[in-house]
A and B are shown apart, each in its own frame.
Chain A
Amino acid sequence: MNRRFIIAIVIVCVTVSYLVYSSVSATAKSVVTVAELLKGGPRANIRVGARVADRAIEQLAPQPNAAAGEGSAVSGIQFAVRDIQGDPNEIITVQYHHVMPENLKAGRDVIIEGQYSDGKFEAKTLLTQCPSKYVPPTPGAGSSGAGQSGSAGGAYSTTGSAGK
């Protein structure tokens, strides 16, 4: 094998490995559950898969848009989530200062990213699960109407997402 060839490959590999390593360190988020959060202290840069608890979803007072007043502000929401597997009464509160996704209701699974401290989660992004999106129901089990067979591996909607 040609020496120049190999030198070029090695240089590129080293550079790219460094690039990947530094980017991972800077941007990786840990995936945790609600149960784990409740046990520990404050954490930042995390992603949580949780289920919306059976509590009211409250509106927050509108926050003026950071990006220069054109007048209208968008209010945020505050709701409670619980661990998907665990005790339904152990909840944390989530605050999300963007448009509420319309399919957000009790029993829906969500993915939230942001930081947590002391029972409160400040969500930068919020994704909701579409019901029975790619896990179709089985026929004959109460024919018409959507059956719910959503598992934890189901698909998520992006329409409610993207805070900056």
Chain B
Amino acid sequence: MIDLGHFALVAAWLMAMYGLCVGMWAAWSGRPAGVLSARNAVMLTALFSGVALAGLARAFVQHDYRYTYVWQHSNNDMPWYYLISSVWGGMDGSMLLWASFMSFYALSVMVKWDAAPERLARWLPPVLSGATGFFLTVVAFFTNPFRLVPNGAVLTDGNGLNPLLQNPSMLIHPPMLYAGFTGFVVPCAFCFAALISGSLGDQWIVLTRRWTLIAWAFLSTGIILGGNWAYIELGWGGFWAWDPVENASFLPWLSGTAYLHSVMVQERKGMLKIWNASLCLLTYLLAVFGTFLTRSGVVQSVHAFADTDVGWVFLLYIGIVATLSAGLILYRRTELRPDKALDSYFSREAAFLYNNLALLAICFATLWGVMFPVLSEALTGQKSVVGPPFFNRVNVPLFLALLFLMGVGPLIAWRRASWRSLARTFAKPFGLGVFVSVVCLWFDTTRPLASLAFGLSSFVLFTVESEFRRGARARRELLGSGGGVVALVRRKPRRYGGFLVHLGVAIMAIAITASMAYKTERDVTLAVGAKTIIGRYQLSLENLRIEKAQNYEALISRVRVEDAATGQLLTVLEPERRFYARNEETTTEVAIRMTLRDDLYVALAGSETAGLAPQAPADPLKLPAVFKVFINPLQIWLWFGGVIMLFGTVVVIGPAVSVVSREERQVAADAVRS
């Protein structure tokens, strides 16, 4: 008996192939009926993918161990929400999730395609079907989650999901990331369709802006959630390790951010057309490349799925798409010539260009670092790796340049900015930024880069503040009354939402600088009753106890935290260590005290067995406990900044309602009368 889910997967694949072939033929020969048929195929692909995904989820929730994949990643003890997240807990299901999300985006394009010029729109079904078709091919033929258990064995319980994955972050981080990655197929498909059809007006950029922003928002959220997960769950005290898979998600984000900015130049000035087309396609390719990195075993990573045979298929796809993209752009290069030339190095167009160059430089450098083991071995025979020191050394200066541009860019004039206009707009924020830098440097002369970073971030904060203030004042002068910041934002969501995003990023920059420059880390051994002083905290171990849960046994420590100066009790933290018998896995559950000023982060690393005979059985309750303690200054501001950034993005995306207030109507009416 074939499962509905499996059947739907095959049906989805068939629909995608139909959409690709019939769509190409219909678009090429100009058959409206064929185009419509292909469009329906795209919509059916989404429907069947959804059914397949639901079918897999059903199998997990109902403990259907006929399927190898279900057995490998779940067991009877798991609650329903982790069972659902097990759908993407392994390679096969995550590939199906990816393909499904892409097909849903394709569906949304088909629903809204009346807005696109017909010459372009007719190519959308085959292009979208080609993209979803590739991923459905991978799922259906290489990583099928509906594979049956060998030898028809009847199993009553499963292997269980890796305990490290059984936490709330697993429920949203991968879906967010995938919704981000796959979303870039929309602008990419429009770009392809525009290049193929020759319908190269700027409408496709305007049409796809919202999708691009939505994809970017999901990707940003996914990355930040990943950092949060690493921080709270993994116990090494940090949130970003420049791990290859982390970098893989970062690369399309970087080029996507560059693209989001440079399209503004094309919209207003008709410049950078080839640049934007290339960036659009590059972002999609980097997203696919990212998933290739995660699944092929090409580079080693804590996140990577196991080595599979799928790697070459991805490389082939990337190669084909890259070749087609380059070919199409070359073919259309005369139609893509800019309307204007770059007038001055000191203009907003130039600032956007520098922004793009900085982002792409970071992207290239990060890619280089990720691929370095492969490249070094291929070129020199000796495999070499680079780690966080490399990435920090290269990327920190580039990020600082970006911070500067974030402050300058939105304010500098188009075409050519005069020194006078620059001075008028920037004197105060720049002066304040310099002041902040000097103050930081005065307090700590050993970290000039950190002082510079704090100064630049403050510069951005002050420019945002001055822009809001200026905007509010202009409204007041025009209308007689304010309405304040909220009305300002509603009136011009793109501009002021963008400022909010920059504000969020600047706050995150401050938090990251504090974390990189001023973090405190200690390994400490405490017997029960002992105390130690770290930074402004005094920690003492009150007791140790063992608790048994359904699938693990936990060693829990009770740590009393007091203010080192006053002795006041601040809190009690209970970091623990869990041992999962089934998988022979140990995980650490960190305890964190978050304040606006810093995070006190305590991880229980184990028991101190020095002085014991080797291999002697040790009772952890009687041994001193070993802790890793971190003090992370301003850490919480990283998350606050992320939330502000995302809120700003929502504002930018949000309903494009031009809110003309009653006061504005009154002013307009008065002007007409007088």
Q: Report the Cα distance A9→B274, complex, angstroms.
A: 14
Instruction: Tell me which residues from 10 to 28 in chain A have a Cβ below 8 Å from any Cβ of chain B.
Output: 12, 16, 19-20, 23-24, 26-28
Does A133 contact B609, Cβ atoms closer than 8 Å?
Answer: no
Flag whether A47 is at the interface (Cβ < 8 A): yes
Q: A4-B345, A29-B384, A139-B153 are in contact. Are A23 and B393 (CB under 8 A)?
A: yes
Flag whether A154 is at the interface (Cβ < 8 A): yes
Contact pick for B397, options A2, A19, A27, A153, CB 8 Å: A19
Does B155 contact A139, Cβ atoms closer than 8 Å?
Answer: yes
Q: Report the Cα distance A128→B397, complex, angstroms.
A: 33
CB closest chain-A residue, reference B382: A30
Flag whether B632 is at the interface (Cβ < 8 A): no
Flag whether B264 is at the interface (Cβ < 8 A): no
Flag whether B647 is at the interface (Cβ < 8 A): no
Q: Report the Cα distance A137→B150, complex, angstroms.
A: 12
Q: A4-B342, A99-B523 are in contact. Are A143 and B306 (CB under 8 A)?
A: no
Q: How many residues of A contact B (CB 8 A)?
A: 66
Does B155 contact A140, Cβ atoms closer than 8 Å?
Answer: yes
Q: Report the Cα distance A98→B71, complex, angstroms.
A: 38
Q: A30-B382, A158-B236 are in contact. Are A70 and B306 (CB under 8 A)?
A: no
Q: A24-B390, A153-B307 are in contact. Are A139 and B300 (CB under 8 A)?
A: no
Does B390 contact A27, Cβ atoms closer than 8 Å?
Answer: yes
Flag whether A35 is at the interface (Cβ < 8 A): no
Query: Quick check: which of A57-65, A85-93, A114-122 contacts chain B, the rest being far away?
Result: A57-65
Does B385 contact A16, Cβ atoms closer than 8 Å?
Answer: no
Does A138 contact B234, Cβ atoms closer than 8 Å?
Answer: no
Q: Report the Cα distance A72→B534, complex, angstroms.
A: 11
Does A8 contact B394, Cβ atoms closer than 8 Å?
Answer: no
Does A2 contact B626, Cβ atoms closer than 8 Å?
Answer: no
Flag whether B305 is at the interface (Cβ < 8 A): yes
Q: A27-B387, A139-B155 are in contact. Are A153 and B306 (CB under 8 A)?
A: yes
Contact pick for A153, options B297, B383, B524, B615, CB 8 Å: B297
Contact pick for B234, options A111, A134, A158, CB 8 Å: A158
Q: Mark A128-164, 1 if CB is under 8 A from B, else 0.
A: 0011111111111001111000010111111101101
Chain B residues near A75 (CB, 8 Å)?
525, 608, 610
Does A5 contact B159, Cβ atoms closer than 8 Å?
Answer: no
Does A16 contact B387, Cβ atoms closer than 8 Å?
Answer: no
Main SS at interface, chain A = loop
Q: Report the Cα distance A140→B532, complex, angstroms.
A: 51
Contact pick for A140, options B150, B164, B306, B610, CB 8 Å: B150
Flag whether B174 is at the interface (Cβ < 8 A): no
Chain B residues near A23 (CB, 8 Å)?
386, 389-390, 393-394
Does A153 contact B300, Cβ atoms closer than 8 Å?
Answer: yes
Does B584 contact A131, Cβ atoms closer than 8 Å?
Answer: yes
Q: A29-B384, A62-B610 are in contact. Are A74 and B354 (CB under 8 A)?
A: no
Does A159 contact B523, Cβ atoms closer than 8 Å?
Answer: no
Chain B residues near A24 (CB, 8 Å)?
368, 372, 386, 390
Chain A residues near B398 (CB, 8 Å)?
16, 19
Residue of B73, B235, B302 with most chain A CB atoms under a 10 A cut-off: B302
Does B72 contact A139, Cβ atoms closer than 8 Å?
Answer: yes
Q: Report the Cα distance A133→B297, complex, angstroms.
A: 14
Chain B residues near A56 (CB, 8 Å)?
614-615
Q: A139-B65, A139-B155 are in contact. Are A99 and B605 (CB under 8 A)?
A: yes
Instruction: Tell me which residues from 427 to 458 in chain B have a Cβ below 8 Å from any Cβ of chain A.
Output: none
Q: Report the Cα distance A100→B626, complex, angstroms.
A: 10
Q: Report the Cα distance A75→B623, complex, angstroms.
A: 14
Q: Mark B507-529, 1 if CB is under 8 A from A, else 0.
A: 00000000000000111111000
Residue of A75, A131, A134 with most chain B CB atoms under a 10 A cut-off: A134
Instruction: Tell me which residues from 286 to 312 in chain B have a Cβ below 8 Å from any Cβ of chain A.
Output: 297, 300-307
Chain A residues near B353 (CB, 8 Å)?
5, 8
Q: Report the Cα distance A59→B345, complex, angstroms.
A: 62
Closest 3 CB pairs of A and B: A136-B72, A140-B153, A31-B383
Q: Interface of B with A (CB < 8 Å)?
A: 65, 68, 71-73, 90, 149-151, 153, 155, 157, 159, 162, 164, 234-237, 241, 297, 300-307, 338, 341-342, 345, 350, 353-354, 357-358, 361, 364-365, 368, 372-373, 376, 382-387, 389-390, 393-394, 397-398, 521-526, 530, 532-534, 577, 582-588, 605-606, 608-612, 614-615, 626, 628
